[in-house]
A and B are shown apart, each in its own frame.
Chain A
Amino acid sequence: MMKKISKSQFSQLFSNIDKSYQLFLPVELDGKVNFDLWQEGDKVNIEKLKTNISPKSFIFPQSETYMKFKRDGKKLKIDNVSGKKEDYVIFGVRHCDASSFKLLDNVFLEEPVDRLYEQRREKGTIVTMACFEPEENCFCTSFGIKPQTAPIEVDVTTWDLGESILWQSQTQKGEALTEKLNDILEDAANQDKAELNSLQESTKGKVKELPLAKLDPTKITGELKDLFDSEIWQELSERCLGCGSCTFVCPTCHCYDVSDFKGDAQTGERFRCWDSCMFSDFTLMAHGNIRKTQKERVRQRFMHKLVYYPNNHEGVYACVGCGRCVEKCPVHLDIVKVIKKLGGE
Chain B
Amino acid sequence: MDKITQKIRETAKLALENGEVEKIIGWTKGDTFDDSHPVFITDEDKADSLIWDSFCVNNVSKYLIKELKQSNKVGVFLKGCDSLGFNQLIVDNRIDRTKVVVYGISCPGMIDPEKVKNEGLNKGLKSVKRSGDEIIFITSEVEKKLSSKDFEFDKCLKCRHPNPVVYDQLMTDALEEREVDLEARFKDVEDLEALSNDERSAYWKNQFSKCIRCNACRNICPACSCVKCIFDNTKAEVSGKAKADTEEQFYHIIRAYHVAGRCVECGECSRVCPAGIPLHKLNSKIIKDLNGLYGEHEAGLDSSVEAPIGMFKLDDCDSFSKQGGGKK
A–B touching in complex (CB under 8 Å): yes
Pairwise interchain contact A276-B214, C-beta atoms closer than 8 A: yes
Considering only CB atoms and an 8 Å cut-off, how many residues of chain B contact the other chain? 36
Q: Are B32 and A326 in contact (CB under 8 A)?
A: yes
Residues of A within 8 A of B123 (CB): 136
**Minimum Cβ distance to chain B for residue A271 (Å):** 5
Q: A239-B63, A241-B216, A276-B214 are in contact. Are A333 and B243 (CB under 8 A)?
A: no
What are 18 residue pairs bridging A and B, where the CB atoms are less than 8 Å apart in the complex? A32-B210, A53-B274, A63-B242, A63-B244, A65-B242, A239-B37, A239-B63, A241-B216, A248-B212, A257-B241, A273-B241, A273-B242, A275-B241, A279-B232, A281-B232, A281-B234, A330-B58, A332-B32
In the assembled complex, the CB of A125 is this many whole angstroms from the nearest CB of chain B, namely 24
Instruction: Assess whether A170 is interfacial by the CB under 8 Å rule.
Output: no
B30 touches A243 (CB 8 A): no
Contact A63 B243 (CB under 8 A): yes
- The distance in angstroms between the C-alpha atoms of A32 and B206, with both chains bound, is 13
**Do B216 and A245 have beta carbons less than 8 Å apart?**
yes
CB distance from B116 to the nearest CB of A (A): 11
Residues on B with beta carbons closer than 8 Å to the beta carbon of A259 = 234, 240-242
Instruction: Check B32 against A261 for contact (C-beta < 8 Å).
Output: no
Q: Cβ of A332 and Cβ of B35 under 8 Å apart?
A: yes
Contacting pair A245 B30 (CB below 8 A): no
Nearest A residue (CB) for B40: A238
- A276–B219 Cα distance when bound, in Å, is 14
Query: Is B241 a contact of A332 with CB atoms below 8 Å?
Result: no
Given A32-B210, A32-B276, A330-B220, 13 new contacts (CB under 8 A): A34-B210, A65-B242, A239-B38, A239-B58, A241-B220, A243-B215, A243-B216, A244-B216, A261-B242, A276-B214, A279-B215, A332-B32, A332-B37
Contact A245 B241 (CB under 8 A): no
Whether A244 pairs with B215 at a CB distance below 8 angstroms is yes
Q: Is B79 an interface residue (CB 8 A)?
A: no
Distance in angstroms from B74 CB to nearest chain A CB is: 12
Interface string of A313-345 (1 = CB under 8 A from B): 000000000000010101111001100000000
Across the interface, do A332 and B271 meet the contact criterion of CB distance under 8 Å?
no
Contact B213–A52 (Cβ < 8 Å): no
B232 CB contacts on chain A under 8 angstroms: 279-281
Q: Which residues does chain A contribute within 8 Å of B274, judged by CB atoms?
A: 52-53, 245, 248-249, 328
Contact: A273 with B32, CB < 8 Å? no
Tell whether, in the assembled complex, residue B30 and residue A337 are in contact, meaning their CB atoms are under 8 Å apart: yes
Q: Given A136-B123, A273-B242, A328-B274, A244 and B213 touching (CB < 8 A)?
A: yes
Query: Given A32-B276, A136-B122, A248-B212, do A242 and B219 touch, yes or no (CB 8 Å)?
Result: yes
Bound Cα distance from A336 to B232, whole angstroms: 29
In contact, B272 and A248 (Cβ under 8 angstroms): no
Q: Is residue B68 contacting chain A, with contact meaning CB distance below 8 A?
A: no
**Whole-angstrom CA separation of A41 from B61 in the bound complex:** 46
- A63: chain B residues within 8 A (beta carbon): 241-244
Q: Known A281-B232, A332-B30; judge A61-B243 contact (CB<8 A).
A: yes
> In the assembled complex, how far is the CB of residue B179 from the closest CB belonging to chain A, in whole angstroms?
27
Task: Kindly identify which residue among A53, A248, A249, A262 contacts B213, using a CB–CB cutoff of 8 Å.
Answer: A248
> Cα distance A243–B40 when bound, in Å?
19
Cβ-based interface call for B2 (8 A)? no
A-side contacts of B36, CB under 8 Å: 332
Q: How far is the CA of A309 from the CA of B234 in the complex (A)?
A: 30
Interface SS, A side = loop
Measured CA separation A31–B118 after assembly (Å): 10
Closest A-chain residue to B33, C-beta based? A136
Chain B proximity of A331: nearest CB distance (Å): 5
Kindly state the separation between the CA atoms of A226 and B214 in the bound complex, as whole angstroms: 31
B15 an interface residue at 8 Å Cβ cutoff?
no
Q: Does B275 reach chain A (CB closer than 8 Å)?
A: yes
Query: Chain B's nearest CB lies how many Å from the CB of A168?
Result: 29
B191 at the interface (CB under 8 A from A): no
How far, in whole Å, are A169 and B210 apart by their CA atoms in the complex? 32
Q: Which residue of A lies closest to B23 (CB)?
A: A238
Contact status B219-A331, CB under 8 Å: no
Q: Does B31 contact A (CB under 8 A)?
A: yes
Min C-beta distance of B168 to chain A, whole Å: 23
Among B36, B214, B215, B243, chain A packs the most CB atoms within 10 A around the CB of: B214
The distance in angstroms between the C-alpha atoms of A246 and B268, with both chains bound, is: 17
Least CB separation from A269: chain B residue: B242
Tell me if A211 counts as interface (CB < 8 A to partner B). Answer: yes
How far, in whole Å, are A192 and B237 apart by their CA atoms in the complex? 60
| Assembly CA distance A328 to B273 (angstroms) | 8
* B39 in contact (CB, < 8 A): yes
A62 contacts chain B at the CB level, 8 A cutoff: yes
The answer, yes or no, to whether A30 is at the interface (CB within 8 Å) is yes
| Binary contact readout B112-136 vs A (1 if CB under 8 angstroms, 0 otherwise) | 0000000000110000000000000
Min Cβ gap B64→A in Å is 13
A30 touches B276 (CB 8 A): yes
Q: Which residues of B contact A244 (CB under 8 A)?
A: 212-216
Report the minimal beta-carbon distance from A252 to chain B, rounded to whole angstroms.
16
Closest to A244 in B: B214
Q: How far is the CB of B215 from chain A (nearest CB, A)?
A: 5
* Shortest beta-carbon contacts, A-B, top 4: A244-B214, A243-B216, A330-B272, A63-B243
| Contact in complex: A245, B214 (CB < 8 Å) | yes
Q: Which chain A residues border B218 with CB–CB below 8 Å?
A: 243
Measured CB to CB, the closest approach of chain A to B269, in angstroms, equals 10
Give the CA-CA distance A336 to B35 in the complex, in Å. 12
Q: In chain A between 269 and 320, which residues have their CB closer than 8 angstroms to a CB of chain B?
A: 271, 273-276, 279-281
Within 8 A of A (CB), among B215-242: 215-216, 218-220, 232, 234, 237, 240-242
Distance of B301 from chain A, by nearest CB (Å): 25
Residues of A within 8 A of B214 (CB): 243-245, 247-248, 276
Contacts of A52 in B (CB 8 A): 274-276
Do residues A331 and B240 form an inter-chain contact, with CB atoms below 8 A? no
Docked-complex contact A333 and B37, CB < 8 angstroms: yes
Q: Does the CB pair A331–B37 fall under 8 Å?
A: yes
Residues of chain B contacted by A137 (CB below 8 angstroms): 32
